[in-house]
Amino acid sequence: MTVQMTGANRREILASVTAAGLTLNFAVAAKAGAQAAGVGALNAYVRVAPDGMITIVAKNPEIGQGIKTSLPMMIAEELDADWKTVRIEQADNDPKTYGRQFAGGSMATPMHWEELRRVGAVARLMLIQAAAQAWNCGPGDCTTTPGMVVHKPSGKKRTYGSLALACANIPAPDPKTVTLKDPKTYRIIGKSTPQYDTAKIVTGAPLFGIDVKRPGMLYATYAKAPVFGAKVASADLAAAQSVKGVRKAFIVEGQSADLMGLLPGVAVVGDTWWAARKGRDKAAITWADHPTSAQSSKGFAERAKALAAGPPQKTARNDGDVEAALKASAKTVEAAYAYPFLHHAPMEPINTTAEFKDGKLEIWSPTQNPEPGRQLVARTLKIKPEDITVHMVRCGGGFGRRLSNDYMVEAAYIAREAGAPVKLLWTREDDVQHGNYRPGGFHFFRGGVDAKGNISAWHDHFVTYARTTGRRAAPAWAPRSSPRASCRTSRWTSR
């Protein structure tokens, strides 16, 4: 699953493209390395085999939104590739090579639209230059058709596969100087294209994080308090370890400063996940008291009602004198509405596989945000980030939940303590109880209509949850504390 370029002796030519605030670097393999591998690596995204098969790397996590297919389509379009010959490979987390890699906010296409097309255009120009050298002509005498370079005066053709190795001797042009296609000529972009992994998905082939297996792998469960941030008061580890198939059970001290970090809990590791789960059930865990135990939905609602009765902390909009308009209305109506914290509920349960060996850590995780996960693991386990490899595997849904990497750091910590590769798998109850929720909110409406039934006044006092400090600095219970922020939107309409 690791992206291999072409060998240790490759020559790297670094070119920078600034697009949407990102810097893109891509490396071009040396001739010796490319010949040894038998594949022409035109840059970190594109490899061409002698038979003409083209491998394009997908840089961002795939969570079901199709980006593993659509980002390579951008490269293939400007490369002038024949899509039937394209194979797609998922990149590992590698910010030095690929820049920022994440899935969230429907941002992948606008952020990478220009830079990835330039990646393809650069590779295409290198192939043209290689053909021009072979034909002893100028690059301007050459053009491309899908998968081929054509000598315009004579009509001679060379396949991309026959030219790829020669590109090791071709300097990569500055991506900022390449000319991109006129959208009217697009053959790939904008065309209905099946997702690359569809066949594997419908046949149940191993593809997702939950499918990862490693030699000698054990399975783990991790119990955390029903009260956010609470520590373990006691646990019967002997009872947990008495279950057949359980290898190890231990308490993790964790911390309470970051709810999306390594929270306190009890880890149980076994030969099978079911054994680990049964061992966890036997552990008879009790939890220490914690300030979050005072929280409740009822308490939140009472606090919201109290805030709504007072002045707002912020006015979002104010048109006219709403109080006067309400008094002058023929009829007024008041109503209050609330919506709760909502769990993301991705179909694939939360999981990560980790292997700690010789001071280095390898992780297979269905994450939307791999680099922050790597940094979190490095800080928590006190190891160098460069000693951690994160393989991005397809997510069975994310919806924002997998932007946080609490499960990644849990798996990494447990694998180190267990001394074996470990797959951590949360129960569905764990998943719901320890979600990174969409915040709830409360709306308190007042409205008025005139004698004709037209709206004459409208007022909304909105109360929601807010942080007064950053995620890292806030106490563990801050993100789920009582409602403490409110804003008012008032509008008066005269007809």
Domain end (from 429, 455, 477): 429
> What CATH number did the domain enclosing 216 receive?
3.30.365.10
pLDDT (mean) for 28-44: 54
Let me know if residue 42 belongs to a domain. Answer: yes
Residue 7 lies in a domain: no
Residues 404, 476 share a domain: no
pTM: 0.87
pLDDT tier at 23 (50, 70, 90 boundaries)?
Answer: very low
Of 199, 224, 251, the residue that ends a domain is 199
pLDDT: which is higher, 465 or 29: 465
484 backbone dihedrals φ, ψ, rounded to 5°:
-145, 10
Any domain includes 424 = yes
Please tell me whether residues 179 and 322 are part of one structural domain: no
- Owning domain of residue 322: 295-341+439-492
Distance CA 46, CA 86 (A): 10
Total of domains in the chain: 3
The mean pLDDT of 434-454, rounded to a whole number, is 94
Whose tokens are 């010949």? That residue is: 35
Do 132 and 234 lie in a common domain? no
Residue 1 lies in a domain: no
Residue 169 included in any domain: yes
pLDDT band for 49, please (50, 70, 90 cuts).
very high
Q: Are residues 359 and 224 in the same domain?
A: yes
Instruction: Assess contact for 440 and 450: CB atoms under 8 A.
Output: no
Residue 478 has pLDDT above 70, yes or no: no
pLDDT tens-place string over residues 313-326: 889 999 999 999 99
**Residue 489 pLDDT:** 72
Higher-pLDDT residue of 350 and 438 is 350
Mean pLDDT of the chain: 88
Q: Could you tell me if 24 and 84 lie in one domain? A: yes
Same domain, 329 and 393: no
Read off the pLDDT band of 482 (50, 70, 90).
low
- As a whole-number percent, the residues of the chain with pLDDT over 90 amount to 82
- pLDDT at res. 492: 54
Within a domain: residue 204? no
Q: Residue 8: inside a domain, yes or no?
A: no
Same domain? For 217 and 190 the reply is: no
* pLDDT for 466: 74
Confidence of residue 479 (pLDDT cuts 50, 70, 90): very low
On the question of pLDDT at 395 being above 60, the answer is: yes
| pLDDT (tens digit per residue) in 358-388 | 999 999 999 999 999 999 999 999 999 999 9
342 pLDDT exceeds 90? yes
Shared domain for 329 and 360, answered yes or no, is: no
CA distance 115 to 191: 20
Quick one: pLDDT at residue 467? 60
- For residue 40, the model assigns a pLDDT of 72
Q: What is the pLDDT of residue 4?
A: 31
Q: Are residues 242 and 274 in the same domain?
A: yes
Whole-Å CA distances, 181 to 92, 120, 178: 29, 11, 10
Contact 95, 371 (CB under 8 A): yes
Q: Which of 173, 199, 225 is the last residue of a domain?
A: 199
- Does 325 share its domain with 456? yes
pLDDT value at residue 41: 82
Whether residue 285 is found in the same domain as residue 301:
no
| Co-location of 99 and 190 in the same domain | yes
Task: State the SS3 of the chain.
Answer: CCCCCCCCCCCCCCCCEEECCEEECCCCCCHHHHHHHCCEECCCCEEECCCCCEEEEECCCCCCCCHHHHHHHHHHHHHCCCHHHEEEEECECCHHHHCCCCCCCCCHHHHHHHHHHHHHHHHHHHHHHHHHHHHCCCHHHEEEECCEEEECCCCCEEEHHHHHHHHHHCCCCCHHHCCCCCHHHCCCCCCCCCCCCHHHHHHCCCCEHHHCCCCCCEEEEEECCCCCCCCEEECCHHHHHCCCCEEEEEEECCCCCCCCCCCCEEEEEECCHHHHHHHHHHCCCEECCCHHHHCCHHHHHHHHHHHHHCCCCEEEEEECCHHHHHHHCCEEEEEEEEECCECCCCCCCCEEEEEEECCEEEEEECCCCHHHHHHHHHHHHCCCHHHEEEEECECCCCCCHHHCCHHHHHHHHHHHHHCCCEEEECCHHHHHHCCCCECCEEEEEEEEECCCCCEEEEEEEEEECCCCCCCCCCCCCHHHCCCCEEEEEEEECCC
pLDDT given for residue 14 in this prediction: 23
Q: What does the pLDDT read at residue 484?
A: 63
185 inside domain: yes
Cβ(134)–Cβ(193) under 8 Å? no
